[in-house]
Amino acid sequence: MGYAAFDPKTPLSYFQFQRRDLRPDDVQIDILYCGVCHSDLHQARNEWSNTTYPVVPGHEIVGKVVAVGSEVTKFQPGDMAGVGCLVDSCKSCSECQADLEQYCNLAVYTYNSADPYTGKSTYGGYSNNIVVREDFVLRIPDNLDPAATAPLLCAGITTYSPMRHWNVSRGQKVGVVGLGGLGHMAVKFAHAFGAHTVLFTTSPGKVEDAKRLGADEVVISKDPDQMSQHLGSFDFILDTVAAPHDLDQYLMLLKRDGSLCLVGVPDHPHPSPSVANLIFKRRKLGGSLIGGLKETQEMLDFCGEHNITSDIEMIAIQHINEAYERMLKSDVKYRFVIDLASLQQESPRAEHASEEQPSMQINPVAA
């Protein structure tokens, strides 16, 4: 059972469904905590025009293993385990061979994808359990609080991966745009990697928090005077904003050969940036999608070693719709995490209690 959106406009509500039977290489997990990502909201409301309803969002999952298939070797019942945005991929293409499963053309997402084994839609972590192929299950460091670890499975890896790819390190000046779920993890990682870290925010009320989280400087992005003090000075800027905005104001802050990496995915495109801002200083504009399984485990282990977790506000699943509204107002400090114990209070409601949906196309390679 879980919570689902049944159309773009109606609040999420109770939904009863079955997970697939355990295959030999599957792990079954009882979900304890699930982070609330802005992508969940985008997809619940069909803002990316690709949602199959009902959709059970949630891809920042931490729980306890309760059963394993006969061929599973890395997990046993009782282990803590994590699941992020991916639950399967072809495992044979060049992307998968390079441990970049997120770029596999047959990648299967934790929700709103076709399950390669059943053809039905995958359902995410706003639920009490999940069945996932062993290769897509992560180990959770013992020393970390499980609830505050859940957001690492998406917000963590989505910010860690581009910073590793662009070699963020000591001696660099690095910007993070937006202090939400992704942004606050980006600030923690940039600080941990030793970079001089500058946060750009539209919310003056977040300045002190940003400094506490590791920012060396905080800039109010709506203030042109504050912005102009940083012209041509950044090696790398990670933009986590979930809404369309002017990219030129950040491109101009890069030094020669600097890079602006977009990870936010607004429902409408950003206005096109000026070509001149790119060519005159050979600047680069790029993007990055979550991270592969190997790098996600590396990130979790890094967080274990450096005691890094998310700053969270725990909610009952019954408050998910309110949490979405607060997320839209940039009022998240700094990730909502659902305590799935709250799901026990639900009693099945007849209108949404069955799992009637058409079969989806089966992924021919992974099947």
Residues making contact with ligand NAP (CB under 6 A): 37-39, 42, 154-155, 158, 178-183, 201-203, 206, 240-243, 245, 263-265, 288-290, 327, 330, 332
Please identify, using beta-carbon distances, which residue of 173 and 206 lies nearer to ligand NAP.
206
- 172 touches which of ligand NAP, Zn ion, none (CB within 5 to 8 A by kind)? none
Closest separation in Å from C-beta 273 to ligand NAP: 15
Nearer to ligand NAP (CB atom), residue 144 or residue 242? 242
Are the CB atoms for 49 and 61 separated by under 8 Å?
Answer: no
List, in sequence order, every residue forming a beta bridge with 339; answer none if it has no partner: 33, 316
- Can you tell me the distance from the alpha carbon of 296 to that of 217, in angstroms, rounded to the nearest whole number? 28
Judged by beta carbon, residue 37 or residue 261, the one nearer Zn ion is 37
Interface contacts to Zn ion, rule CB under 5 A: 37, 39, 154
CA 310 to each of CA 154, 189, 249, 300: distance values in angstroms, whole numbers, following the listed order: 11, 11, 28, 12
Closest CB 312 distance from ligand NAP, rounded Å: 12
Q: 241 touches which of ligand NAP, Zn ion, none (CB within 5 to 8 A by kind)? A: ligand NAP
DSSP state of 15: E
CB 283 within 8 A of CB 136: no
| Structure tokens given for 119 | 């053809």
Comparison of 27 and 37: residue with beta carbon closer to Zn ion: 37
DSSP state of 289: -
Structure tokens at 149: 């670890």
Write the DSSP string, 261-326: EE----SSPPPPPPHHHHHTTT-EEEE--S--HHHHHHHHHHHHHHT----EEEEEGGGHHHHHHH
Q: Which does 251 bind (CB under 5 to 8 A by kind): ligand NAP, Zn ion, none?
A: none
Q: Which is nearer to ligand NAP, 17 or 180 (CB)?
A: 180
Tell the smallest beta-carbon distance from residue 267 to ligand NAP (Å): 8
Residue for token pair 């607060």: 326
Q: Which residues, in sequence order, are bridge partners of residue 62?
A: 33, 82
Position with the least CB separation from Zn ion: 37
58's contact among ligand NAP, Zn ion, none, with CB below 5 to 8 A by partner kind, is none
Residue nearest to ligand NAP (CB): 180
Nearer to ligand NAP, 54 or 183 (CB): 183
